[in-house]
A and B are shown apart, each in its own frame.
Chain A
Amino acid sequence: MSKAVVKKTLISLAVASAAAVAQADVVIGVAGPHTGAYAAFGEQLWRGAEKAAMDINAKGGINGEMIKLVKADDACEPKQAVSIANRLVDSDEAVAVVGHFCSSSSIPASSIYEEAGVLMVTPASTNPTLTDRGLPNVFRVCGRDDQQGDVAASYIVGDLGAKKVAIIHDKDTYGKGLADAMKATMNAYGLEEVLYEGLTRGEKDFNALVTKIRSVDADVVYFGGLHSEAGPLVRQMREQGLTAKFISGDGIVSDEFVSVAGSPEYVDGVLMTFGADPTSYPAGKEVVEQFRSEGIEPEGYVMYSYTAMQVVASALEANDLDPVKASDWLHGNKVDTVMGTKQFDDKGDLMVSDYVMYEWDANGKYSMMDN
């Protein structure tokens, strides 16, 4: 036997044994920003998914197969999202993915999952483009930015009766998409914004922009973006004596918003849109209590991630672990989750979305506003 043949045999043996190991488990990727400035959200995703997988495994797994989670870090960068999506598909042989977080990562990654026939359920990406492209394998258990923008716009125009609205975004898919969605609805109500500007993600100095907002005398500042820029922005507004109402979307739903802003006094009175309290569903009461008894507050996207994992598991279970059939199945069937019964439309969006306004208080906590 020549050396080359020995080598080939060894390789095929190694491949065979790797495949055997992979077949024993159901590999599911949890993709999101596990490092970087948005790592707090990656942590929320991981906590929810990990708990859900543990609970499902404790009840015997999916058709007797144990779920094995693989952490995939996209750092909220589109390029890295594509390369880790390839890794999940090729070397980890994942059948489904819970994630990603940032819309700008989810959109390019979803094409790779589609090609590979991998089911993708995102707990957090709200940009409309993600599902509007009509990929059969893409689902989300959160709302869409156009729905979110509607809620924010009708609150700003109706409840606040604002006259001068400044719209700021972070030039990213999610942030700009949300800001544009809000702007469209607000304009439809007949109110034109007084300022529409972008800021640079990763910077901390927005003083020049704040002064500009002051110069147009805005009474409401709407921000499309994430907490790492929202924190410094709202702080610098207050430091320059600007008292305008600060309103943002579900990109700031993290305790870190307070620490990034410097102290709770700066976030006092900040408003945001987010799905109706994810911990309030009767079906999820037990899970919420278990989280709290482990010392983890199921804030932000933790419950969404748990829900996404349940959706994945139910779909795989009903279709003999075939992700392509599971995708078809999800378009026509309801799934019971810790956030109530979820049903998807043809695009993979939820049939019912439930955005409401939340308000941050002087203690640095957020709560649903009474409407």
Chain B
Amino acid sequence: MDIVLQQLVNGLTLGSVYGLIAIGYTMVYGIIGMINFAHGDVYMVSSYLTAIAIALLTFFGMESFPIIIFGTLIFTIVVTGAYGWVIERVAYRPLRNSSRLSVLISAIGMSLILQNYVQISQGARQQGVPTLLTGAIRFDVGDGFVQITYMKLFILFAAFLGMGVLTYVIQKTKLGRMCRATQQDRKMASILGINTDRIISSVFVIGAAMAALAGVLITLDYGAFDFYVGFIIGIKAFTAAVLGGIGSLPGAMLGGVILGLSEALFAGLISSDYKDVFSFSLLVIILIFRPSGLLGKPEVEKV
């Protein structure tokens, strides 16, 4: 019993982070119909920015956890958002009216550029950040116990807060309304006076900001990263986005949580050798029965 509960906690924290990154994939797909393969590397860049922010803040003598964490979050989200904006501007906007394939190739190129740029500028070695928040709470369950570090609780709290804020922005604000309008019909939206280029830019910034939030949380929790961390987690988050229905915001979050939980439960109860096989089989099965994902809407051919 305690083991299953612990696995649920493991899966939920992992899944909430997958969900955060999946948001970037799903929003970009929703609005311009492309898969941003550089998104995993945007996440990777945010890991490095986290380490830089922590180093800067401790250099200026700020030691308390709340100050460091908020300083790091603000710095990383702003700078990573800027990366998202620049990437869209440089690699995708010039190709706005060309075929989907060329944008895809451009995205893969961007991914390689980011990886190599970080590798050359920061070195190829594994990097680490010091542990900021230590300690854990422990519940006794039956004969065993469930132990959750404060960092994990913080991840859950911050991830769901981030998703909540984003949902509010998309559903209730003017910017969100413009995003949704652009997603539904870009041409009509621009006729009605929405600057769709700017909306697309802001979607990239929002996606990058969510990846940055995930980057800060994961980096603080695991403490280690290198220039290649974006690859695996990017693939997983992309899977989560497809699982939940690519283009759908709640779908990305749901897909992330389902993927995290299924990985943790399968690894914990059956075999960690084959957990990825299981996750991807799950994806295949869901796509067979619901080709547009769990919460995705079937694409209507526009006439």
List the interface of chain A (C-beta within 8 A of B): 34-37, 39-40, 43, 171, 197-200, 202-205, 207-209, 211-212, 214-215, 227-228, 231-232, 235, 239-241, 256, 259-263
Q: Are B224 and A260 in contact (CB under 8 A)?
A: yes
Q: Which of B98-106, B130-138, B246-254 contacts A (4 or more CB under 8 A)?
A: B130-138
**Cα separation A35 to B11 with both chains bound (whole Å):** 32
Among A204, A214, A241, max chain B CB count under 10 A is at: A204
- Tell me the smallest distance from the CB of A297 to a CB of chain B, in Å: 15
Q: Are B10 and A37 in contact (CB under 8 A)?
A: no
Q: CB-CB < 8 A to B265: which residues of A?
A: 208
Which B residues lie within 8 Å of A228 (CB)? 126, 224, 226
B89 within 8 A of A: no
> CB of B145 within 8 A of chain A?
yes
Bound-complex Cα distance A200 to B276 (A)? 9
Q: Are B224 and A202 in contact (CB under 8 A)?
A: no
Most chain B beta-carbon neighbours within 10 Å: one of A171, A207, A212? A207
Contact in complex: B272, A202 (CB < 8 Å): no
Known: A204-B218, A232-B224, A259-B126. A215 touches B268 (CB 8 A): yes
* Chain B residues within 8 Å of A43, by CB: 125
A36, A197, A207: the one within 8 Å of B273 (CB) = A197
Of B174-182, B189-197, B201-209, B228-236, which stretch is located at the interface? B228-236
List of A residues within 8 angstroms of B131 by Cβ: 262-263
User: Which A residues are CB-close (under 8 A) to B269?
Assistant: 212
B272 and A208 contacting across the interface, CB-CB below 8 Å: yes
A-B contact pairs, 14 of them (CB 8 A): A37-B228, A197-B272, A200-B232, A200-B276, A204-B229, A207-B10, A208-B264, A211-B264, A212-B3, A212-B272, A215-B268, A232-B224, A235-B223, A241-B145
Among residues of A, the one whose C-beta sits closest to the C-beta of B6 is A211
Interface centre among B125, B232, B269 (most CB of A within 10 A): B125
Q: Please tell me which one of the listed residues A35, A205, A214, A263 contacts residue B119 in the complex, with CB atoms under 8 A apart.
A: A35
**Residue from B3, B126, B222, B232 in contact with A256 in the complex, judged by beta carbons closer than 8 Å:** B126
Interface residues of B (CB under 8 A from A): 3, 6-7, 10-11, 13-14, 119, 123-131, 136, 138, 144-145, 147, 149, 218, 222-226, 228-229, 231-232, 263-265, 267-269, 271-273, 275-276
Residue of B nearest to A35 (CB): B124
Indicate if the CB atoms of B268 and A202 lie closer than 8 Å. no
CA of A177 to CA of B228, assembled, Å: 25
| With A40-B126, A239-B147: A211-B231 Cβ-Cβ less than 8 Å | no
Whether the pair A261, B119 counts as a contact (CB closer than 8 A) is: no
A287 to B159, CA, bound (A): 53
* 4 further contact pairs, Cβ within 8 A, besides A36-B226, A202-B232: A35-B119, A235-B222, A260-B128, A262-B224
Determine the chain B residues whose CB is within 8 A of the CB of A212 once the complex forms: 3, 267-269, 272
Report yes or no: A262 in contact with B6, Cβ–Cβ below 8 A: no
Question: B10 near A211 (CB under 8 angstroms)?
Answer: yes
C-alpha spacing A262/B130, complex, angstroms: 6
A256 to B10, CA, bound (A): 26
CB atoms of A211 and B273 under 8 A apart: no
Contact B272 A199 (CB under 8 A): yes
Which residues on the B side are within 8 Å of A214 (C-beta)? 3, 6, 144
Q: Once bound together, how far apart are the Cα atoms of A40 and B119, in whole Å?
A: 13
The number of residue pairs between A and B whose CB atoms lie closer than 8 Å in the complex comes to: 113
Alpha-carbon separation in the docked complex, A262 to B224 (Å): 7
Give Cα distance in the complex from A264 to B58, angstroms. 19
Task: Describe A's contact surface by its main secondary structure.
Answer: helix
Asked whether, in the complex, the Cβ of A239 is within 8 Å of the Cβ of B149, the reply is yes
**B263 and A208 within 8 A (CB):** yes
The chain A residue sitting closest to B7, CB to CB, is A211
Report the minimal beta-carbon distance from B15 to chain A, rounded to whole angstroms. Answer: 11
The closest CB in chain B to the CB of A227 belongs to B126
Smallest CB-CB separation from B232: which chain A residue?
Answer: A202
| Contact status A37-B14, CB under 8 Å | no
CB contact under 8 A between A231 and B224, given known A202-B232, A208-B264, A208-B275: yes
Residues of A within 8 A of B149 (CB): 239
Please tell me which one of the listed residues B124, B130, B268 contacts residue A34 in the complex, with CB atoms under 8 A apart: B124
Q: Assess whether B232 is in contact with A203, with CB atoms less than 8 Å apart.
A: yes
Known A36-B228, A39-B125, A40-B126; judge A208-B271 contact (CB<8 A).
no
Which residues of B sit under 8 angstroms from A231, Cβ to Cβ?
126, 224
A114 CB to closest chain B CB (Å) equals 30
Contact (A171, B273) CB under 8 Å given A207-B264, A263-B131:
yes
A202-B231 contact, Cβ under 8 Å, with A240-B6, A256-B126 = yes
Minimum CB–CB distance from A53 to chain B (whole Å) comes to 22
Say yes or no: A205-B14 contact (C-beta < 8 A), given A37-B226, A215-B268, A241-B147: yes
Instruction: Give the CA-CA distance A208 to B4 in the complex, in Å.
Output: 10
The interface residues of chain B lying within 8 Å CB-to-CB of A200 are 232, 276
Q: Give Cα A240–Cα B125 distance, bound, in whole angstroms.
A: 27
Judge whether B224 and A197 touch: CB under 8 Å. Answer: no
How many Å from the CB of B77 to the closest CB on chain A? 21
A contact residues around B231 at 8 Å (CB)? 202
Measured CA separation A215–B123 after assembly (Å) = 39
Most interface-central of A37, A211, A240, A260 (chain B CB within 10 A):
A211
Interfacial chain A residues near B267, Cβ < 8 Å: 208-209, 212
Query: With the chains together, A232 CA to B218 CA distance in Å?
Result: 12
Q: List chain A residues, Cβ under 8 A from B226.
A: 36-37, 228
Write the nearest CB–CB distance from A78 to chain B, whole angstroms.
17
Structural contact, A261 and B3, CB atoms closer than 8 A: no
Distance between Cα atoms of A204 and B149 in the complex (Å): 16
